[in-house]
Structure 1
Amino acid sequence: MNLYVRSANGYRVASVDEVVSAAKRAINRKYRRGQAFTSPKVVEDYLRVKLSYEDNEKFVALWLDGRHRLIAYEELFQGTIDGTSVYPRVVVQKAIAHNAAAVIVAHPHPSGVAEPSAADENITRRLKQALELVDIRLLDHIVVGKQCVSLAARGLL
């Protein structure tokens, strides 16, 4: 199935980048501030659109209110093709600045293999501990590749 875009000479087949950009615009329209994330699948679909086609790792947060409605999506840290540094202190500061009651963090694995590393598990534990000190719940840490892997579903939260 091809997607077409309007051009000066009529229509042409859309590039992958154009399709990804269109999908990101659509997901941003659907999930604006105040939209509730009602299930893990909804969160995974949202993050898959946002992060699946990244060439480098980045660490992002979905800041949520007490009813799991989106306050903001924020890119916190940029990385390389196989890693990024995450600082719990910065995550806590940002959570407080957004007045978040809960947070879901995520990052892509550009390789497409979403299996969490030992470092992913370690930072998840550290973030949970740091956020608990200020009464903010870490609901999940999702690794995005060809599939999404939830560390909460694996019992790590």
Structure 2
Amino acid sequence: MTHSKLKAGEVAGTYLVTSLVTETDIITMAKHFARRKLAKGRKISQPSQAFEHLQLLLQDYEHEVFSVLFLDSQHRVIRFEELFRGTIDAASVYPREVLKAALACNAAAVILVHNHPSGDPEPSNADRRITERLKEALGLMDIRVIDHVVVGSDGCRSFAEMGYL
């Protein structure tokens, strides 16, 4: 495993590379660290804190993937889960399934996330419609939609920052 090629540095959050690594090793390590940043118990006080991790995890898919970051009442991560996979330009998202998953892990809030394989993170009208449907469905159970983040290779767009929520 590529993690054996790393050794913790003297300063917290730093590492020494102990043997040759390939680009693939580096990407694998980066995705591992991104998953750790979204691990259970991590507090997300601003959705933008999660952007670079979400971008790293989702930007390379050749199809749309719709994921949810489930949070507790203190906005600590309960779980990050990919719920739906689609085609190159769409993914069917079912509010019932998102609600079931949120209730199953006792989430108080969620950050919705999906990628645009085209690389352009600009939200579509369909993205805005499904966000409204999810907000309504989750709201019936007092689960807040804090943000919907669209990930592309060109960056991330936040519905909250754009005033859509």
Give the TM bin, normalised by the shorter chain: 0.7 to 0.9
Q: Distance in 2 between matches of 1:153 and 1:49?
A: 20
Correspondence for 1:34 = 41
User: Structure 1 residue 109: deviation in Å?
Assistant: 0.5
User: Which residue identity is paired with 1:11?
Assistant: L
User: Structure 1 residue 129: deviation in Å?
Assistant: 0.4
Correspondence for 1:153 = 161
Is contact 1:62-1:72 (8 Å) kept? Answer: yes
Q: Distance in 1 between matches of 2:45 and 2:30?
A: 20
How large is the RMSD of aligned CA atoms in angstroms? Answer: 1.6
Q: Percent identity?
A: 47
Report which stretch shifted further, 66-75 or 19-28: 19-28
Correspondence for 2:20 = 11
Query: Where in structure 2 are there 5+ consecutive unaligned residues?
Result: 6-18
Q: Distance in 2 between matches of 1:30 and 1:138?
A: 20
Correspondence for 1:106 = 113
Correspondence for 1:65 = 72
Q: What TM-score, normalized to structure 2?
A: 0.84
Q: Distance in 2 between matches of 1:93 and 1:31?
A: 21
Q: What TM-score, normalized to structure 1?
A: 0.88
The SS at the match of 1:113 is coil
Query: Where in structure 1 are there 5+ consecutive unaligned residues?
Result: none
User: Structure 1 residue 30: deviation in Å?
Assistant: 3.3
User: Structure 1 residue 50: deviation in Å?
Assistant: 1.4
CA offsets, 1:65-108, max 9 Å, x none? 00100000000000111110000011011100010000001111
User: Structure 1 residue 54: deviation in Å?
Assistant: 1.4
Paired residue for 2:85, among 78, 89, 112? Answer: 78
Correspondence for 1:133 = 140
User: Which residue identity is paired with 2:110?
Assistant: V
Question: Runs (4+) of structure 1 moved beyond 3 Å?
Answer: none
Q: Distance in 2 between matches of 1:27 and 1:11?
A: 22
Correspondence for 2:31 = 24
Is contact 1:125-1:156 (8 Å) kept? Answer: no
The SS at the match of 1:11 is coil
